[in-house]
Each structure stands twice: as structure tokens, then as C-alpha cells.
């Protein structure tokens, strides 16, 4: 028999996962600007009270979503194997993300601001992930600029592979 609190923890995580998935789906549909806590609760199929028990406001939900997405990207890069595979995986994920696509249309200023904050913990985390794959400071800087460019100008999966290979072959990886 599992302890009562372990069940509560897994329910808590499932609820948060549902909230973040619902939020990302809403962002993919219409961006961040018009998003409300009521919409998030309804789309996530949780009560408003439950939503507010997990997050104090929309900014807290968005911060949790960004942290979750950074963790997802970290897992992609770590599982990829070679530096080229890691860069390709990150590139494809960034270029095909429907929430980023909607933000390019509806929230470009927010997106640019988030991408250019090199002091943000998320920017630093992604840079550390890339450095872990490449073991090169110069290569990390180049790869970060390449990936950040794709947030605003996505590329195809084939381009992701070709460019990732070129980056690895032509930098100090």
C-alpha cells in the first residue's frame, strides 16, 4: 500500500502537467497576450480553485511552462548522443513548436525580449546544455545564436540536420 502523500504528489504532478499542456495549447492557438486564468482552467479541465492552488497568476503559469519546456529541451539534448544529434534535436523542436509559431505572430516583442535576456536562468540552462554536448565555449555561443535565430525564423528538419553537421564540422567542437 502506497502512503497517502505519495498519491497526492502524483496527482499534483498530473494536475500541473495538464495545466501546462493546456496553457501551451492555448498559446499555440492565439498567443500569450489575451490569455486569462479562466481560459487556462477551462482548457486544462481543472477548476479555477485548483488552478489557483497551483499557480498564483498567469505569469506564474507561464514561468512554469517555460521551465518545463527548458527541461524538455535538456532531455532531448542529453538523449541525442552526438553534438550534431543534440543540435539537430533542439533545432527541430524549436522550429516545429506550435506555441512558438503563434508567439511569432501574436507576441513577437515578448519572444524577442525573452530570447535576448542572456542573464535569464533559462538562457543559461540551455547554454549549459549545449556546452555539455559540445564541450566548447566558442561552439556554444555559435550554436546558441543559431538556435535563437530559429525561434523567429524556423527551418526544416533537413536544414536542421545539415546545419547542425556544418556547425559541428566547422567550429571548435
Q: Is 4-170 a domain of CATH 1.10.357.10?
A: yes
Of 19-23, 121-125, 129-133, give the range with the top mean pLDDT: 19-23
> What is the model's pLDDT at position 7?
52
Cell numbers given for 50: 485548483
Structural domain boundaries in the chain = 4-170
Contacts of range 97-100, beta carbons closer than 8 Å, 24 or more positions apart: 98/28, 99/24, 99/27, 99/28, 100/151, 100/154
The string of pLDDT tens digits covering residues 132-163 is 888 888 889 999 999 999 999 999 999 999 99
Query: Which region holds residue 150: left if phi is over 0, alpha if psi is between -120 and 50, else beta?
Result: alpha
Query: CA nearest 66: which of 146, 145, 147, 122?
Result: 122
- Per residue in 99-114, pLDDT (tens digit) is 999 999 999 999 999 8
Amino acid at each position: 500500500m502506497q502512503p497517502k502523500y505519495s498519491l497526492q504528489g502524483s496527482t499534483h504532478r498530473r494536475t500541473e502537467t495538464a495545466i501546462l499542456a493546456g496553457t501551451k495549447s492555448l498559446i499555440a492557438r492565439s498567443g500569450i497576450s489575451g490569455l486569462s486564468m479562466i481560459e487556462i482552467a477551462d482548457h486544462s479541465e481543472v477548476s479555477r480553485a485548483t488552478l489557483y492552488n497551483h499557480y498564483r497568476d498567469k505569469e506564474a503559469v507561464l514561468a512554469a511552462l517555460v521551465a518545463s519546456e527548458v527541461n524538455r529541451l535538456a532531455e532531448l539534448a542529453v538523449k541525442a548522443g552526438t553534438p550534431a544529434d543534440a543540435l539537430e534535436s533542439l533545432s527541430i523542436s524549436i522550429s516545429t513548436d506550435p506555441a512558438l509559431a503563434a508567439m511569432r505572430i501574436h507576441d513577437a516583442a515578448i519572444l524577442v525580449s525573452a530570447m535576448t535576456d542572456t542573464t535569464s536562468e533559462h538562457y543559461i540552462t540551455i547554454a549549459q546544455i549545449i556546452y555539455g554536448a559540445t564541450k566548447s565555449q566558442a561552439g556554444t555561443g555559435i550554436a546558441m545564436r543559431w538556435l535563437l535565430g530559429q525561434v523567429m525564423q524556423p527551418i526544416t528538419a533537413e536544414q536542421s540536420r545539415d546545419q547542425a553537421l556544418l556547425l559541428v564540422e566547422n567550429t571548435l567542437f
